[in-house]
A and B are shown apart, each in its own frame.
Chain A
Amino acid sequence: MDSSARERPGPRRGGASPPLRSAPGSHREGEMEDGICKQEMLQKKNAVLVDGVVLNGPIMDSKAGEKFVEEACNIIMEKVIQKADDVTEKVCEWQDPETLKQILDLEMRDAGESHQKLLQLCQDVIQYSVKTSHPRFFNQLYAGIDYYSLVARFITEALNPSVYTYEVSPVFLLVEEAVIKKMIEFIGWEEGDGIFNPGGSVSNMYAMNLARYKFCPEIKEKGLSGLPRLVLFTSEECHYSMKKAASFLGIGTENVYFIKADERGKMIPEELEKQVQRARKEGSAPFLVCATAGTTVLGAFDPLDKIADICEKHGLWLHVDASWGGSALISRKHCRLLHGIHRADSVAWNPHKMLLAGIQCCALLVKDNSGLLKKCYSAKAAYLFQQDKFYDVSYDTGDKSIQCSRRPDAFKFWLMWKALGTTGLEERVNRALALARYLVEEIKKREGFQLLLEPEYANVCFWYIPPSLRKMEDGPEFWQKLHQVSCHISSVICSLLIYLYAR
């Protein structure tokens, strides 16, 4: 660094400023500037005032701010991290909404609060939040804590980057590229493309739009009005984001044809063939089949090979929503669940689910390597994707996205992978499925528990039948009472789902 940049030695932020919040009680950030700094500056007669604002004095006390961050992190360590595996702690500290509103002091006021009050607010937020890292949190398709992913997330929060161009986000862009390449390897493609998205729902929308663009590139400019009716196919067990996607993209929820699933929750290929034929006869334009690898409720895997055959025969884009089940690809023991996935045109895969990468970490992978993703999505904004930069602008991959600013979601997965290695991640998947196997055996052994179906993944679906209902005859009254049992116990759904993680 030449001397022009070294205007004064050492960090100059906040060092000489008086402590911001040394006393409890209400504090005003403005007071610091108005009361102390402005006074001092005006007294020194070298204050630069523009529009009543002092330009050459600090507005923030960095030392106090850093102290706050450190103290907040102590709270995080003590109240969340250290307790993460403590089964004697509660998973949730239930309060009904009206009561919680009173407890939390959510109101946003004109004046700022004191340092101590702010720390207390942090504690309250943590106390009344559900501990998704608790060993007995089984509610959703994510749980647990990975320290490496957490460190990576802390780093990205501190750096606050946006992953649109190499100039602004060199490291995270290259990391994303490397992670996508690795994920593609596990799918079984030699090459491909991809991007990280804010959620599996968004990944599915990307795929739907990409398939539509491939089918008819003109739609990007001309829109759908006046075109033949586009139709897509997905299992009746698919994730609800398919419907939301169809409506958002202008395709229409009526034009999502749901294919029947068998008693194990898997799409029936013969039914798919029937529906495609039906759609053709109607004069509509089938363009996409979305298979699910790991359905949300039952954890079912659609038969990808047979579905791929049908797609090939009819020239349809095959997207595999492997948001939940994709992580099985990392396990040599269990990757057979996704046999045939390499025949897909696109795959959605969320490492934030079974691999504990941290919300959000969702990739859309695309087999095409001809720049289809870019052609479909780019807008070539001149203020961001200038062509006359001094480096190779093909690195500015942000234009492949529907987003402008975008979070570096691949990095936490990368650091975790570096820490654990493929072997470590594989163990994680194997462990989760072994835990599921153990739970299933227990359920079969114990009285009063009834398995819904034999799981092939980590979703264990069962009923708990209380003693009062065990002698009852199977019939509508029995099921109604049983339904209420589940509601009373846990508020989840009429069968309890447990998603197992490596903990």
Chain B
Amino acid sequence: MAESSWLERPGLDKAAGEEFLREAFQVLLDEAVRKGTDVTEKVCDWKEPQELRELLDLELRSSGELPERLLERCRDVIRYSVKTCHPRFFNQLFSGLDHHALAGRLITETLNTSQYTYEIAPVFVLMEEVVLAKLRELVGWSSGDGIFCPGGSISNMYAMNVARFHHFPESRQKGSWALPRLALFTSRESHYSIQKGAAFLGIGTDNVHLVGTDERGKMIPEELEKEIQRVKAEGAKPFFVCATCGTTVLGAFDPLDGIADICQRHGLWFHVDAAWGGSALLSSKHRHLLTGIERADSVAWNPHKMLTVGLQCSAFLLRDTSGLLQRCHGAGATYLFQPDKFYDVTYDTGDKTLQCGRRVDCLKLWLLWKAAGTEGLARRVERAFAYTRYLAKEVKRRDGFQLVLEPEFINLCFWFVPPSLRGREGSPDYWPRLGKVAPAIKERMMRKGSMMVGYQPHGARVNFFRQIVTNPTVTKDDLDFFLDEIERLGQDL
């Protein structure tokens, strides 16, 4: 048959493919890795959305393109992408590039596997256990459970679901409609994934009770106690408290011991969202910020933030050793988790998760750790704190800069007050006008491509900058440049 002779040839041109891979890798190394980390290059090459659409020629057509055209496309994609590894990218809670982690990520992509069973991913199943055990050790647990999730938001949702199952095991089969109205508590500074989680899990955002915080953004335990009492009196059933270690905007750490006491007293699941602040556990100097974390029932920790490991790498850690995670999520699909395999099937950990196919997120962290050692990572963490200390000092020293609050972590929040507004604090339109400064400076810096930093309004406060430095290659010069550039860009506002 004509069909079978067609099948005798391979469907892919291997030689052409390998050639393309080699050339593209060179482009990647030059344009993304080398130039992307080069301080003399732009952080971003700003284009309006419509213009960028045209430049990229996004349309997907019926015929393919030549390798040269594809390489050009690769160059364009790199050129117009924001260089999150640039020493002057300060916009998010992640930045920088670690070469060992990158090598780990490239190997992960090439091996292209899913982490559900030992038979399919033997190395990674074992490796994930070792990495999670190491993270648990730093939390203060000598045993426990856990899994890597596609992001901290989902880690937080896992915690919520496991807590619900722990309190109401029947909810897995029967659903929440048959349960009393549940209540969960978190600080008003917490990450919005708690709200998204409550909606997704069928608990309802109205049943997320936001607890008041002090002037430093930390949850007030007495307020938590009050809220719990109030909610109980209304007839709802509290089941879960989420404390935050490293809030997104202010970088605040909730007082874990005080909160743990309350959870113990009321029999509530104590989850710590340490997605951002968890990495402080690596430093003996700074881990005191998370004192009491070992009392948690679960912890979310994202090494892809402060440890430059690459998105995504988010650990959900559990103190439980009774197989709660498996009981909560396991479905025992017979086509994947056969009990009659020829090896010990307890190694098939994939059934503990909500996902079926799941990316290998442990290799990049493991390889980074092998390269840097726990001590090397601790040094990186300490460096980030030192940057912030230096910047805070400079902000206090310089005219026109005003600290929002003294940082205890590495979120540096400040206003830049242009000369035209200095000394005008008394005037009624001072704050509204000040609120327009950060967006204007941001626009200028992005059009110029010199750096990127985030801003946001917060509570009653108008827009202020939130400076975050996690990139270990940043130096004092970059920090000085940062403040100088804000001055330059905001001088005439």
Contact = CB atoms under 8 A, between A and B. Distances in A.
A411 B76 CA distance: 13
A476 to B, nearest CB: 17
B84 A129 contact: no
Contacts of A145: 12, 112
B175 A72 contact: no
B390 to A, nearest CB: 5
Interface string B373-393: 111100110110111011000
Contacts of A198: 150-151, 154, 312, 355, 358-359
Nearest to B125: A97
Q: Which 6 residue pairs of A and B lie closest in terms of their CB atoms, listed nearest first?
A: A252-B175, A250-B202, A223-B204, A65-B99, A147-B17, A29-B376
B432 to A, nearest CB: 12
A170 B18 contact: no
Nearest to A255: B175
Interface residues of A, number: 191
B343 A391 contact: no
B82 A161 contact: yes
B124 A169 contact: no
Given A77-B21, A142-B112, A155-B77, A249 B359 contact: no
A75 B152 CA distance: 32
Contacts of A166: 49
B38 A11 contact: yes
Contact of A155 (B64, B74, B180): B74
Given A159-B78, A225-B177, A168 B476 contact: no
A66 B99 contact: yes
Contacts of B32: 155, 158-159
B439 A12 contact: no
A226 B177 contact: yes
Contact of B11 (A72, A415, A503): A503
A248 B201 contact: yes
Given A7-B39, A225-B180, 12 more contacts: A48-B390, A72-B106, A82-B18, A148-B70, A158-B28, A198-B154, A199-B150, A243-B331, A405-B94, A407-B150, A491-B341, A493-B335
Contacts of B92: 162, 168
A84 interface: yes
**In the complex, which range does the number of interface residues on chain B fall in?**
35 or more
9 contacts: A154-B28, A160-B311, A161-B81, A171-B52, A250-B177, A383-B466, A388-B439, A389-B442, A422-B60
B456 A159 contact: no
Contacts of A468: none
A219 B181 CA distance: 12
Contact of A50 (B10, B34, B375, B390): B390
B334 A153 contact: no
Nearest to A218: B204
Interface string B115-154: 0001111111011001100100000000000000011111
A421 interface: yes
Contact of B386 (A4, A51, A76, A128): A51
Contacts of B176: 223-225, 250-252
A240 B356 contact: yes
Interface stretch (A101-109, A264-272, A365-373, A445-453): A101-109
B285 to A, nearest CB: 8
Given A97-B126, A148-B70, A419-B64, A248 B21 contact: no
Contacts of B310: 157, 160
Interface string B277-308: 00000000100000000000000000010000
A423 to B, nearest CB: 5
B151 A106 contact: no
B256 interface: no
Interface in A127-174: 128-133, 139-140, 142, 144-148, 150-151, 153-155, 157-162, 166-172, 174
B91 interface: yes
A109 B374 contact: yes
B193 A404 contact: yes
Interface stretch (B166-174, B224-232, B264-272, B401-409): B166-174
